[in-house]
Amino acid sequence: MSQQAPAEPFGRLTPQAVNERITSGELKIVDVREPWEYARDHIPAATLTPLGQIIARPQETITADNVVFVCEVGQRSAVAAELAAAAGMQHVFNLEGGMQAWRNAGLPVES
Q: Which residues are known catalytic residues?
A: 71
How many CB atoms are located within 10 Å of the residue 13 CB? 17
Question: CA-CA distance, 42 to 35, in Å (whole number)?
Answer: 10
